[in-house]
Amino acid sequence: MIILTGVSGFIGSCLLTHLNQSGFNREIVVVDDFYKLYKDKNTDNKAVREWMHRDIFLDWFEKTTQKVDLVLHIGARTDTTLMDTDIFDQLNVNYSKRIWTACARKEIPMIYASSAATYGDGNLGFDDNHENIHLLKPLNPYGDSKQQFDLWALDQDEKPPFWVGCKFFNVYGPNEYHKGRMASVIFHTYHQIRNTSSMKLFKSHRPDYADGHQSRDFIYVKDILDIITFFIQHQSTASGIYNFGTGVARSFLDLARNTFAAMNIPENISYIDTPIDIRDTYQYFTEANMSKLRDAGYTKPFYSLEDGVQEYVKDYLMKDKYF
């Protein structure tokens, strides 16, 4: 039996579909806040063993004698603009600690969602070497909560028999319709172009970056699913925290141009000021060092930005389709 938390969210719901396609159907217990009805389409027509609300899951998991083969802890509060640290402490730190502790006690492998937000402004690079993680300084409470748990996990004497912390970089793809402001830039670009036949990008507020040349390591969600599958299938790999990116930073200008091309609409790009509430915590560059994952044996090529945007726009956004 597999436990999957955060199943109604973007990555969690895609992972459930991927597991179903891989033959895992009635063997999955899924966990989330199922009162959030606007996420229902993410999990429509998907096969699970049991739906469990997150408020009762921990007590059940700590007490159950049922055999659990793997925990995929993808659930988290991911709003990078939220400043309420109590919510992040509750959902991202303490909740995760209880899952980890139960996995360690019961000897259950665990894969959990970390974040590239832990890297902060990137001055220390984007290397997932454990020796550097304690030096990182996230720029917001969300990133700080992920950093707190990563550090706590590394410091534990009792660990699950196999564990992976997934430092997700800028993930995009189907099933993020519910995310609002926190949806990917590609999602927002598509809708802005569809509604206005134009795209407004943020101006640069740093002299070393031209407008539109702020860059991210954009990774298509199907690459995320393939990496997670690799770790599920290769639990002899070294446990630890791994980057989940492509290793190639691309500019927002590249992203916008590829979205216009996928929609077959002439480019019309202009620039606006970065909102004040995120300006001081805005990352201008992210690029994952992927050597650790490659050294672990993952050899599959990643989607290029061109191919990922083409598929996402044409096969999902333009058809209002879910994965």
- CATH 3.90.25.10 in the chain is located at 180-216+249-284+306-317
Nearest to 225 by CA among 111, 128, 314: 111
Q: What is the DSSP string of 252-268?
A: HHHHHHHHHHHHT----
Strands (E) across 224-317 are located at 240-244, 250-251, 269-272
Pick the CATH number of 180-216+249-284+306-317 from 3.90.25.10, 1.25.10.10, 3.20.20.70, 3.40.630.30: 3.90.25.10
CATH class of segment(s) 2-171+218-247+289-303: alpha beta
Catalytic residues: 142, 179
- Scan for tokens 């429509």, then name that residue: 44
C-alpha span between 148 and 125 (Å, rounded): 19
Q: How far apart are CA 79 and CA 84, in angstroms?
A: 10
Q: How far is CA 270 from CA 186, 267, 274, in A?
A: 16, 10, 13
Q: Count of CB atoms within 10 A of residue 169's CB?
A: 24
Entry pTM:
0.94
Q: Locate CATH 3.40.50.720 in the chain.
A: 2-171+218-247+289-303
pLDDT tens for the chain, 323 residues long, are: 999 999 999 999 999 999 999 988 779 999 999 876 556 789 998 999 999 999 999 999 999 999 999 999 999 988 887 888 988 989 999 999 999 999 999 999 999 999 999 999 899 999 999 999 999 999 899 999 999 999 999 999 999 999 999 999 999 999 999 998 889 999 999 999 999 999 999 999 999 999 999 999 999 999 999 999 999 999 999 999 999 999 999 999 999 999 999 999 999 999 999 988 888 778 889 999 999 999 999 999 999 999 999 999 999 999 999 99
